[in-house]
Structure 1
């Protein structure tokens, strides 16, 4: 009974520690937090009337003002009806058009006494409720399938999001080295996720060791080939905007190179965990297996996993630039020009370096697992 109690305590103690740590990181103040003025309120509103007379259409491009009449549906001014302008600048990626009955996120500007609405600024369609219920639906399905493992997966999801939002991105903006900061935080995230899911045992140690080595090798390769590719970090959307927003000290290229091993670290975790769990099951069923046999089994498992995972990276990375590639294809741009373009070269670098990491993680994890599991 005492042994069972100790095991149960170990099972719940580490997730509890991570939950507390996640809360502490979330509550940390950020140097970029902007205190909302008392005369400003963000509320949900319903569009009750739309007037498009001031919109100028030039083909598919629309500019001008969309005049809206909205009703505030929450907060102190709930039920108030006000007029608002929806400015269209002729860029479809930023413009939004409203219809009667739709919900909008609105900023209310109040007078000095905060008792009267001066004007309203429509930000965008209100999506927070849909995002919330989609997330809840995902969590319910995850827990119903995986049980307590699902709860730990949700905890690791929350921890990863909080670390990225509260530590990694503010650290980039403050001028810390993107590569070293990313390596440290990715190692921290990887450790928490694997040890939460696999547990603090041989299985978790094998998976963690393989993933960490893979991330480190990917970081080295991204630096080496990043210099040879001569690709600037400004190829990423909105990167150059940072320089014009008072952050001209940022090294966009280093941030881009760091993003390579950040984005591929998840796939490396998957492979290392697959091999570690599979080897653990093999030695559980056949405790007499030799180190060489277990390593060979790990190699066979790894070959099957990386065969599909490398293609997964290609699909994941190229999906964001599908519209750009379609433009070049539609214009009849020669293939040699497309492959040499900095945007496309950056994605090729991203995909190939990530794939290198995946291929390396499999044999490394298999070797480590064969040695650690068979050690008596």
Structure 2
């Protein structure tokens, strides 16, 4: 416990030193988002509640904390929030369809020993829980891209306010292309970092490449990465168009 307190204190000092008041708000937002996730899990345990609806509400709250609480309410954060929510809605529909078709919910055979003494009759829809997990895992990356594009496009417009809507859109997409590769790789390596022990276990059990790819636990995580990558790619044109529309409308007024 002492180690956790010291690490949290060091993180707080670094964030305040680098970001000042905004850094302090960023540190506090970690606990606020943790509270949102904790409440989301509590509500999901109620069989009468739709986990996907709860996840969407949680995404709105997380977006408000991560964008408005940290960076305050302004044109950039408002557009980033709208872009994030539009992308989440589109992605949510796609993820529900994919989850129903691929049946990735539940536990794999590698996890049978760990859950053998537990009851699986908990009364919740594992398909919807699986879709919720994917959304909660992607919202951070989507918001990151949305606010990056919004900030960059506002800066471009500030220095060159005569740009047309089409030129602004192209600039936003160009910025998004540079972000796309790094964010996708971040998601990819986050998976392999978190599941390195599982891959070592696969190696010790002499799994073939085909067995690894077809194992439920591996395929479900790969689908998570692919869906997250799709969300990151999708938010780029959405955020670029909304920013271009908003900036041109502001100039005309």
The normalised TM-score by structure 2 is 0.90
Alignment match of 2:42 (pick from 163, 170, 187):
170
**Compared CA separation, residues 147 and 247, structure 1 to 2 (3 A):** farther
Q: Paired residues, what number?
A: 247
Q: Give, in angstroms, the shift of residue 242 of structure 1.
A: 11
Q: Tell me which residue corresponds to 1:210.
A: 83
**Compared CA separation, residues 234 and 279, structure 1 to 2 (3 A):** same
Q: Structure 1 stretches of 5 or more lacking a match?
A: 1-127
The normalised TM-score by structure 1 is 0.62
Q: Tell me which residue corresponds to 2:163.
A: 289
More strand by share: 1
**Compared CA separation, residues 277 and 135, structure 1 to 2 (3 A):** same
Contact kept? 2:107, 2:216, Cα under 8 Å: no
**CA-based RMSD:** 2.2
Q: Tell me which residue corresponds to 1:21.
A: none
Alignment match of 1:362 (pick from 232, 236, 239):
236
Q: Give, in angstroms, the shift of residue 373 of structure 1.
A: 1.3
Alignment match of 1:334 (pick from 199, 204, 208):
208
Q: Give, in angstroms, the shift of residue 237 of structure 1.
A: 6.5
Task: State the alpha-carbon separation in 1 of the partners of residues 148 and 121 from structure 2.
Answer: 41
1:1-376 equivalences in 2 (<5 Å): 128-165=1-38, 167-175=39-47, 176-235=49-108, 241=115, 244=118, 248-375=122-249, 376=252
More helix by share: 2
Task: State the alpha-carbon separation in 2 of the partners of residues 336 and 290 from structure 1.
Answer: 51
Q: Give, in angstroms, the shift of residue 360 of structure 1.
A: 0.1
Contact kept? 2:134, 2:227, Cα under 8 Å: yes
Contact kept? 2:99, 2:130, Cα under 8 Å: no
